[in-house]
Amino acid sequence: MRGKFITLEGMDGAGKSTHIPDIIKLLESKGVEVISTREPGGTVLGEQLRTLLLNEPMHPETETLLMFAARREHIAQIIEPALARGAWVLSDRFTDATYAYQSGGRGVLANKVIELEVWVQGNLQPDLTLLFDVPVEVSVARLANARTPDKFERESAEFFTKIRNAYLDRANKNPSRFCIINSNQALDKVKVEVKNIISTL
């Protein structure tokens, strides 16, 4: 039986990565093999591209192309083989992030992202996407107290507003795949919400 593909999305500072260990533990308790990965990254080449993408200034379309180059390797080397053998893949970001950051934030035309999505991943889509949503001011405040920021985390509140709007637009257009989680509440409440969603799979 083919495995399931779960993605976690949200602005920087939304707290999505905090929940990955709990999700892995819950799925493994059900006897599921879990492959935890991330984008950009996930492969040796992908991690090298991640370093460039998170730190080097570049044209928005170059950024988009490199994101999909890393994604192609990710799908071919990690995601598809794992799903084919019945493992569940848990990815910290996937293509929805490109629609949010490169199209919504950077202004790359959505039709160009659509063309790359079809070319790079064919019919592959997540079975479930958890969108961790917080107000922009909360995201900015959390990032101010974080580690040394990358180039995305140093962006303006206006940039994050565009990202949030793009994410919510994606969720509204794909309601059967997305679950929007209010990440601006007590961590314990968020954890319960995540657990309840994952437990239904």
The confidence score (pLDDT) of residue 165 equals 97
**Per residue in 124-181, pLDDT tens?**
999 999 999 999 988 878 877 766 788 988 888 899 999 999 999 999 999 999 999 9
**Per residue in 50-107, pLDDT tens?**
999 999 999 999 999 999 999 999 999 999 999 999 999 999 999 999 999 999 999 9
Ranges of beta strands (E only) in 61-113 are: 88-92
CA distance 175 to 179: 7
Tokens of 148: 């040394």
- Cα angle vertex 167, ends 107, 161, to 5°? 65
Strand order across the beta sheet in which 128-133 lies:
34-38, 88-92, 5-10, 128-133, 178-182
The confidence score (pLDDT) of residue 141 equals 81
Q: State the pLDDT confidence band at 14, using cuts at 50, 70 and 90.
A: confident
The confidence score (pLDDT) of residue 123 equals 95
- Taking each helix axis as running N to C, give the angle between helix 157-173 and helix 136-144, from 0 to 180 degrees, rounded to the nearest 10: 130
The confidence score (pLDDT) of residue 139 equals 83
* Cβ atoms 27, 149 nearer than 8 A: no
What's the total number of domains in the chain? 1
Nearest in space to 166 (alpha carbons), one of 90, 116, 109, 120: 109
pTM of the prediction?
Answer: 0.94
The CATH code of the domain that includes 167 is 3.40.50.300
Domain that holds residue 147: 5-199
Residue bearing tokens 């928005």: 60
